[in-house]
Amino acid sequence: MKRIPVLLPLGLAVLWLVLTESLSWGNVALGLVLGFGMVLSFQNLRPVTPRFRRVHVGFGLLFKVLVDIVKSNIAVGRIVLGLTHGREVRSGFLDIPLDMRDPHGLAVLAMIVTATPGTVWSGLADDSSVLRLHVLDLQDPEAWIRTIKHRYEGPLREIFE
């Protein structure tokens, strides 16, 4: 017997409440029924249930990601408009060794790097040990590897592993 997930149905119920904009008891009950009903009926499609260790780390990570999205928007905008002070922009693939193995952490990492302009997730080794990124401005590969490993992978491992 699998553990019954709690956070996901509660999250879906909150989503329902925001969507319908009503906090009446009937609507809360309906949201909970929908949330638990959906999660239970789809449980066989989710082979691994995530375990959250330190959720509060996520808030710091979320803030860092927002800052990075703003910064990288500016950086990519400069490249598009040719404001690079004559420096030639070299783009290419970059392989980054990963220590994280948790599929949920990897999924969040994929979302973070792809949502940030300038980097797109381009593949993962079969044993999840190497992440391949496509980087628009590959000026300093070491800096990119440091950013991914310390800024994102570290906190994600604290949350999921």
Partner 1 sequence: MMPDIPAWIALPATLLLIVGGLLTLVGSIGLLRLPNFFMRIHSVSMGNTLGVGCVLVASMLIASAVAQRPVIHELLITLFVVFTAPITAIVLMQAAIRRTKPPKQ
Cα–Cα distance for residue pair 10/22, rounded to 1 Å:
16
Q: Which is nearer to partner 1, 31 or 118 (CB)?
A: 118
Alpha helices in 2-153 (DSSP H): 7-20, 25-41, 57-80, 103-115, 141-146
Which residues pair with residue 124 across a beta bridge? 131
Which residue type sits at 122? S
| Residue of 94, 90, 65 lying closest to 79 (CA atoms) | 90
Handedness of CA 148, 71, 80, 111 (dihedral sign): positive
Contacts of partner 1 in 101-140 (CB under 8 A): 110-111, 114-123, 134, 136, 138
Residue 69 is a binding residue for partner 1 (CB under 8 A): yes
For the beta carbon of residue 109, count every other beta carbon within 10 angstroms.
22
Nearest distance in Å: CB 140, partner 1: 14
Nearest distance in Å: CB 90, partner 1: 8
Which residues pair with residue 119 across a beta bridge? 135
Q: Which is nearer to partner 1, 4 or 77 (CB)?
A: 77
Q: Which range in 1-9, 37-45, 69-77, 143-151 contacts partner 1 by CB under 8 A? A: 69-77
Nearest distance in Å: CB 135, partner 1: 9
Residue 15 is a binding residue for partner 1 (CB under 8 A): yes
Residues engaged in binding partner 1 (CB under 8 A):
15, 18-19, 21, 69-70, 73, 76-77, 79-82, 91-94, 110-111, 114-123, 134, 136, 138
